[in-house]
Amino acid sequence: MALAACRRYLRLILTIGNINTTYDSEFSDFTVATNILSFDYSQSKAPIINHYLSSTHSRTFAMAEIPVFPKNLKDYGYAFDDGGKLRKLDPKTMEPTNEGFDFNISDDPQYNQKRYEALGEVINQYVYELLEKEGLKRIPVPKESNVPLELRSFVFACDKAFTSKKLLILIHGSGVVRAGQWARRLIINDNLNSGTQIPYIRKAKQLGYGIIVLNTNDNRRVIKGISKEIAGSEDPHRHMQTVWRDYIQSSHAEDIAIVAHSYGGVCTVKFAIENSKEFKNRVFAVGFTDSVHDMPAIGCDHLIQFNILMADLHESEHAYAVSQREIHHIKF
């Protein structure tokens, strides 16, 4: 269909009378019950519209509405209770009830999905605040750049991250999760303890570790309506390389432990292969959780052996053997 063909274009500029109106091709549908616009395509200055619709003198369509979702949990009607579970708020008392998140609130599946994704953005900010409450601070990636801070990526680190001899690095998986999260689904449908890295951070602080929380999926910024890659954080691998180069390499850490979930394991293995000497000399333990990494048979001897080799040198140290829900201490 002509309209379907038009949607392939990033922007459509239509002239309606003397008014220039911009329509984003992100709209999945041009039909909605409100704001019906009638105009003459033959008068349009947009050649692509004339090309596809020249045989039609006039049509009527509607600009798709973009739902506006709340920017905080309270306006969504939700809050985390004392057990870290996401619960509906009682509209009268504004206290959490026993009802969890309701995905299907509309007959429109696309609306429900967009609402869920928007809630995920709210969750991102909420978890960032939790990290800050744990004493971690946001630091820019890359460290030195002419680019404004808001257009760079960032990670979270505690005050002693670069002065402590022991350092824990937390790396999440791929997808929509950001710093401090293991899984959005667990945060929303289970609780904060299983879905976030907070329990790991608290235990690391108890054991005297410095902490760095990577943000490997933070790869793009929208500048003047155009999505652009962040220099130094173009992808998860580049993000990890930049963080190590700018912060970890010059830190005082002699004993580094890494917890890597899902694709974070791929990032860890790739980094270890490309930086074998640095990795072998400083990393004494790695905990993979649901990792999807693969180790080639050649060139990875140091990865396979380093736990065994380092064991004798770190008899008093503790490493993390991590499950999705809890931390176990293992003495080497």
Range 158-174 average pLDDT = 97
Tell me how many degrees the CA angle 258-191-87 measures, rounded to the nearest 5.
155
- The DSSP call for residue 247 is I
Q: Is the pLDDT of residue 36 over 90?
A: no
Question: Residue-wise over 128-137: b if at least 16 C-beta within 10 A, else e?
Answer: bebbeebebe
pLDDT band with cut points at 50, 70 and 90 for residue 24: very low
Task: Specify the higher pLDDT residue, 173 or 294.
Answer: 173
At 257, give phi and psi (nearest 5°). -115, 140
Give the pLDDT confidence score for residue 247 in this predicted structure: 98
Which residues are catalytic, by number? Answer: 262
Cα gap 138→144, rounded to integer Å: 14
Cα gap 83→43, rounded to integer Å: 61
Task: Specify the higher pLDDT residue, 234 or 49.
Answer: 234
**Residue ranges of domains in the chain:** 2-62, 69-130, 134-331
Cα gap 48→250, rounded to integer Å: 55
Residue type present at position 98: N
Cα gap 189→332, rounded to integer Å: 36
Indicate the range of 36-40, 101-105, 297-301 predicted with least confidence: 36-40
Give the pLDDT confidence score for residue 295 in this predicted structure: 58
Express as a percent the part of the chain with pLDDT over 70.
68
Q: Are 86 and 77 in contact (CB under 8 A)?
A: no
Range 100-108 average pLDDT = 92
Give the pLDDT confidence score for residue 319 in this predicted structure: 37
Task: Specify the higher pLDDT residue, 288 or 310.
Answer: 288
Q: Give the burial class of 327: count Cβ atoms within 10 A of its Cβ; 0-12 exposed, 13-18 middle, 19 or more buried.
A: middle
Give the pLDDT confidence score for residue 288 in this predicted structure: 87
Range 221-247 average pLDDT = 96
Give the pLDDT confidence score for residue 55 in this predicted structure: 36
Residue ranges with strand state E in the chain: 11-16, 19-24, 36-40, 58-62, 78-80, 86-88, 137-141, 153-157, 166-171, 210-213, 220-223, 226-229, 255-261, 283-289, 318-322, 327-331
Q: Is the pLDDT of residue 208 over 50?
A: yes
pLDDT band with cut points at 50, 70 and 90 for residue 299: very low
Question: Which residue in 210, 209, 270, 262 sits closest to 239, CA to CA?
Answer: 270
Give the pLDDT confidence score for residue 66 in this predicted structure: 74
Task: Specify the higher pLDDT residue, 26 or 138.
Answer: 138
Q: Which fold has domain 134-331?
A: Rossmann fold (3.40.50)
Cα gap 209→242, rounded to integer Å: 21
Q: Is the pLDDT of residue 313 over 80?
A: no
Residue type present at position 235: D
